[in-house]
Amino acid sequence: MTAVWRSGGLAVGVSAVLLTAGPPVRLTAQDTSAIDRGVRIGIIYRPGVRPGMVMLPVHAPALDSVRAIMTRDLDYSDRFELITLPGGDSIRVTAVAPGARPPSAGGAGRGTAGGAAAAASTLNYPLYQALGADFAVAVTTIAGDSTIVAVHDVAAGGVRREFRAHLPALKDPGFRLAVHQLTDRVLEAALGVGGTAATRVLFVMEGKVYTIDQDGADQKLVSSSDHQAMSPAWAGDGRRFAYMEFWEGHGRLFVQEVVSGKRAPVATTGQALDFTPAFSPDGKTLAFSRATEEGTDLYTVNFKEGCCLQRLTVGRFYDNLSPTYSPDGQRIAFVSTRPGLPQIYVMAADGTDQQLFAPFDYGATGSSNAPEWSPDGQTVAFHRDVGGTLQVFVLDVRTRAVRQLTSVGRNEDPTWAPDSRHMAFVSDRSGYRQLWIIDVETGRIRPLLQKSGARLPAWSPRLPETASSTP
Amino acid sequence: MKRLPLLLLSGLAVAAMAACGGKKPETTPAPQAANADSLAEAERLRADSIARAEREARQREEAERERQRRIADSLAALGKSTEAVRALLATMTHFDYDKAVIRAGDAAVLDQKVAILQANPGLRIRISGHCDERGSDEYNLALGNRRATAAKQYLVSHGIDASRIETVSYGEERPIAQGHDEAAWAQNRRDEFEILSGGENLKQP
């Protein structure tokens, strides 16, 4: 084992030398987490080079769906190269006798008692290293109710982290979310970054609001009324969301709780057309657009107290709409038609200091709409008319540089995942409009929902444990 | 023609009188069947009066029918007028892409609505603005609102009380043409006019 570590360390050292010797390549990240035995190991990677990940075969058939869901989540995280074992997924690892635990795994196997859990820490590390794996994840179970997940650091030859969870029954509505949350813990353990597995996307289809897991499973109707709905938006805690409904001659805002499904109209919205609600990050304030005969302007309301309606913009001869808060709650990006056609503007959260946000060439740049501030605060995604069709753009908040992200077909209404790296949007690249997800760093694209007519997506924050009891 | 024999007879009689030496013959008129005649006359008169009464009754009935027909006709005419006015009022106006400016041709359509609203002071309407599917879904709510407001402002500037007109926008959410081409889009970029109240009996302007 020692020899393996040495060779591993050597390999890393060599690649580092090669990197520094060649043309200047910026090392964007270096994971130097300590493992239990005091050995420090460095993994060097560049963007596009993803650490190898093996999801180990499971011992109990009951864990097959857990493994399948986690494997797909890890793939969709776009952070690993998922390695298929020789023999495919059908092979099963034979249980290792409890006494065969090597001393190298002693520290890693802390707190685990059962034979299966101990077996999980006795991996043939050189084999997995030869396969190109940097991490191996073992899912085991004790007495059928407690699920144990061990994240092995293959190069270090030990368990980096191990955690256990009581998963709901397979048919329980909370089962999938609980498994997604395990994936996010694996991601956190392996790379120290937050995942997006335990998230959902709200969207509108045929005038109703639906939710779907980020992996495309478990689509559910969540708006209960017959009124035509639009513009769902999550609260920052993932426990409620807002949306708009057309009522007789006006538009009304509602806030609905995820778990109970109970909803309440936002009190101070009246006979006007209120639309595009957006929660402030602290969850107390709801910003929205209100269309009256004076035009469309931005307002805020304390939705809990149902009070304190404040008008943020006074357009009169132009419209202001589609607010989105910066994650610190200090600023609001929005759409204003003051240049003659809609463009992306920004202001302080109290409505002062309004200014152009995404630069444009007057007379040349098309309409820009649907801004959404990324959860890390660094970018604002929006869509812009390019030659008669819409494309998704990203604005760098600091430099105010604008980058076009899509070019195939019509692409609109981007919404950020909580990792500020993935984005759901609407595209007709397949021939009809449907929901897609793009990894902004690698450009990898996958369909979220292969149904025509789904639109106006809103990606949730990381969902709390209690959200798993959603009926 | 009946007179001719009489004249001949009288001529002959005169000749005979002259021949008879100028003496006027004493002639007693033949006894008239006066009684028979008056009976017949009375009979005739009675028949006449019955016929007249019957005729008058028929005329009265006729007049009554005519009167009722006229009432019915005028009611139908009123209904037709309401229908016609409603149809005029519902005529939609249309817009250029991403514009909320009333087209020159649509000003005449709105002028009709001004006249209808003036002729029917109890009438209240709602204008809804709509867009085609090309623009941004949420921006289209603001654009539809501009379109509805533009029509309202036209009506108000021509003397209609603003309180009689409501506006709303449905963006691109309620298309009337389902296609994905300019023909469908042109139909969908529109203002619709619906009656809120006072539309039971409408007068032609």
Task: Answer yes or no: pTM beyond 0.90.
Answer: no
Tell me the per-residue pLDDT of B142-172, one tens digit each, with 9 for 90 and over. Answer: 999 999 999 999 999 999 999 999 999 999 9
In this structure, the strands spanning A343-348 and A331-336 are: antiparallel
* Confidence (pLDDT) at A37: 52
Residue A65 to residue A82: CA distance in whole angstroms: 17
Least CA distance to A391: which residue of chain B? B136
Residue A34 to residue A42: CA distance in whole angstroms: 9
pLDDT at A92 over 80: no
Q: Nearest-CA neighbor of B188 among B120, B108, B100, B129?
A: B129
Q: How far is B136 from chain A (nearest CA, A)?
A: 7
Segment A144-153 shows an average pLDDT of: 88
DSSP letter assigned to residue B176:
S
Classified as helix, coil or strand, A177 is helix
Q: Do A367 and B167 touch (CB under 8 A)?
A: no
pLDDT at A209 over 90: yes
Scan residues 138-177 of B and list those with Cβ closer than 8 Å to A: 138-139, 141-143, 145-146, 149, 152, 166-170, 173
Segment A454-469 shows an average pLDDT of: 84
Q: Do B149 and A295 touch (CB under 8 A)?
A: yes
Q: What are the φ/ψ torsions at residue B43 (nearest 5 degrees)? A: -60, -45
* Confidence (pLDDT) at A99: 38
Per-residue confidence band for B44, with pLDDT thresholds at 50, 70 and 90 = confident
* Chain B contact for A412 (CB, 8 A cutoff): yes
Segment A395-410 shows an average pLDDT of: 96
pLDDT at A116 over 50: no
- Rounded to 10°, the helix A175-191/A64-76 angle is 50
pLDDT at A320 over 80: yes
Structure token digits, residue A171: 């048919």
Instruction: Give residue for tokens 């986690």.
Output: A70
Per-residue confidence band for A7, with pLDDT thresholds at 50, 70 and 90 = very low
* Confidence (pLDDT) at A170: 87
Q: Do B136 and A390 touch (CB under 8 A)?
A: yes
* Confidence (pLDDT) at A35: 46
**Residue of B124, B128, B133, B137 for testing the chain A interface, max A β-carbons within 10 Å:** B137
Tell me the per-residue pLDDT of A240-296, one tens digit each, with 9 for 90 and over. Answer: 999 999 998 899 999 999 999 999 999 766 678 999 999 999 999 999 999 999 999
Structure token digits, residue A220: 């559910």
Cβ contacts of A250 on chain B, cutoff 8 Å = 168
Q: Nearest-CA neighbor of A407 among A389, A432, A426, A430?
A: A389
pLDDT at A311 over 50: yes
Closest by Cβ to B168, choosing from A250, A276, A456 = A250
Q: Do A231 and B139 touch (CB under 8 A)?
A: no
Cβ contacts of A275 on chain B, cutoff 8 Å = 138, 141
Instruction: Give residue for tokens 């008169």.
Output: B45
B39 CB-near residues (< 8 Å, 6+ apart): none
* Confidence (pLDDT) at B20: 47
DSSP letter assigned to residue A14:
H
* Chain B contact for A231 (CB, 8 A cutoff): yes
Structure token digits, residue B163: 């309180």
Q: Nearest-CA neighbor of A455 among A407, A418, A415, A416?
A: A415
Residue A335 to residue A295: CA distance in whole angstroms: 13
Least CA distance to A316: which residue of chain B? B146
**Residue of B168, B174, B192 for testing the chain A interface, max A β-carbons within 10 Å:** B168
* Confidence (pLDDT) at A40: 53
From residue B59, how far is each of B62, B66, B67, B198 by CA, in Å? 5, 10, 12, 41
DSSP letter assigned to residue A98:
G
* Confidence (pLDDT) at A366: 95
Structure token digits, residue A254: 């509602």
Per-residue confidence band for A471, with pLDDT thresholds at 50, 70 and 90 = very low
* Chain B contact for A456 (CB, 8 A cutoff): yes
* Confidence (pLDDT) at A50: 87
- To the nearest whole percent, how much of chain A has pLDDT over 70? 80
Segment B121-133 shows an average pLDDT of: 96
Which amino acid makes up residue B39?
Answer: L
- Point out the least confidently predicted range of A47-51, A373-377, A379-383, B39-43: A47-51
Average pLDDT score, chain B: 84
pLDDT at A120 over 60: no
* Chain A contact for B137 (CB, 8 A cutoff): yes
* Confidence (pLDDT) at B28: 60
Structure token digits, residue A96: 């290792």
pLDDT at A96 over 50: no
DSSP letter string over A123-142?
--HHHHHHTT-SEEEEEEEE
Q: Nearest-CA neighbor of A295 among B167, B94, B136?
A: B167
- To the nearest whole percent, how much of chain A has pLDDT over 90? 65
DSSP letter string over B18-85?
HHTTSPPP--PPPPP-HHHHHHHHHHHHHHHHHHHHHHHHHHHHHHHHHHHHHHHHHHHHHHHHHHHH
Structure token digits, residue B125: 């309407």
Tell me the per-residue pLDDT of A240-251, one tens digit each, with 9 for 90 and over. Answer: 999 999 998 899
Residue A394 to residue A173: CA distance in whole angstroms: 36
Per-residue confidence band for A49, with pLDDT thresholds at 50, 70 and 90 = confident
> Domain limits of chain B?
80-197
Higher-confidence residue: B29 or A192?
A192
Closest by Cβ to A455, choosing from B137, B146, B168 = B137
From residue A340, how far is each of A15, A203, A296, A361, A368 by CA, in Å? 55, 30, 14, 12, 12
* Confidence (pLDDT) at A328: 97
Residue A456 to residue A263: CA distance in whole angstroms: 20
CB atoms within 10 A of CB A6: 10
Q: Do B137 and A230 touch (CB under 8 A)?
A: yes
Cβ contacts of B167 on chain A, cutoff 8 Å = 293
DSSP letter assigned to residue A467:
G
Residue A235 to residue A279: CA distance in whole angstroms: 5
Classified as helix, coil or strand, A214 is coil
Which amino acid makes up residue A133?
Answer: A
* Confidence (pLDDT) at A224: 81
* Confidence (pLDDT) at A376: 96
Beta bridge partners of A139: A149
Q: Taken in order A443, A449, A454, A460, is the CA torsion positive or negative?
A: negative
Q: Nearest-CA neighbor of A434 among A95, A203, A190?
A: A203
Q: Do A367 and B139 touch (CB under 8 A)?
A: yes
CATH of domain B80-197: 3.30.1330.60
Average pLDDT score, chain A: 84
pLDDT at A95 over 80: no
pLDDT at A467 over 70: no
A2 CB-near residues (< 8 Å, 6+ apart): none
Least CA distance to A341: which residue of chain B? B98
A173-183 core/surface letters (b: 16 or more CB in 10 A; e: else): ebbbbbbbbbb
Classified as helix, coil or strand, B182 is helix
Tell me the per-residue pLDDT of B76-105, one tens digit each, with 9 for 90 and over. Answer: 776 778 888 999 999 999 999 999 999 999
Least CA distance to B136: which residue of chain A? A369
Q: Taken in order B45, B49, B51, B55, is the CA torsion positive or negative?
A: positive
Per-residue confidence band for B12, with pLDDT thresholds at 50, 70 and 90 = very low
* Contact call for residues A379 and A394 (beta carbons, < 8 A): yes
Cβ contacts of B195 on chain A, cutoff 8 Å = none
Per-residue confidence band for B205, with pLDDT thresholds at 50, 70 and 90 = confident
Tell me the per-residue pLDDT of A404-451, one tens digit each, with 9 for 90 and over. Answer: 999 999 999 999 999 999 999 999 999 999 999 999 998 899 999 988
Please report, in angstroms and rounded to a whole number, the separation of the first and last CA atoms in chain B: 67
Classified as helix, coil or strand, A347 is strand
Tell me the per-residue pLDDT of A212-233, one tens digit each, with 9 for 90 and over. Answer: 999 999 999 998 889 999 999 9
* Contact call for residues A117 and A108 (beta carbons, < 8 A): no
Segment A123-130 shows an average pLDDT of: 89
Tell me the per-residue pLDDT of A171-182, one tens digit each, with 9 for 90 and over. Answer: 888 999 999 999
* Contact call for residues A44 and A16 (beta carbons, < 8 A): yes
Segment A122-136 shows an average pLDDT of: 89
Residue B33 to residue A212: CA distance in whole angstroms: 118
Least CA distance to A229: which residue of chain B? B173
Q: How far is A368 from chain B (nearest CA, A)?
A: 9
Least CA distance to A232: which residue of chain B? B138
* Chain B contact for A273 (CB, 8 A cutoff): yes
Segment A123-133 shows an average pLDDT of: 89
Segment A382-390 shows an average pLDDT of: 95
* Confidence (pLDDT) at A10: 36
Q: Do B173 and A275 touch (CB under 8 A)?
A: no
* Confidence (pLDDT) at A196: 96
Residue A223 to residue A232: CA distance in whole angstroms: 10
* Confidence (pLDDT) at A5: 40
CB atoms within 10 A of CB A457: 25
* Confidence (pLDDT) at A106: 37
Q: Do B138 and A412 touch (CB under 8 A)?
A: no
* Domains of chain A with bracketed CATH: 47-191 (3.40.50.10070), 200-469 (2.120.10.30)
Instruction: Count helices and strands (H / E) in chain A.
Output: 5, 31
From residue B105, how far is each of A245, B95, B108, B111 by CA, in Å? 34, 11, 6, 11
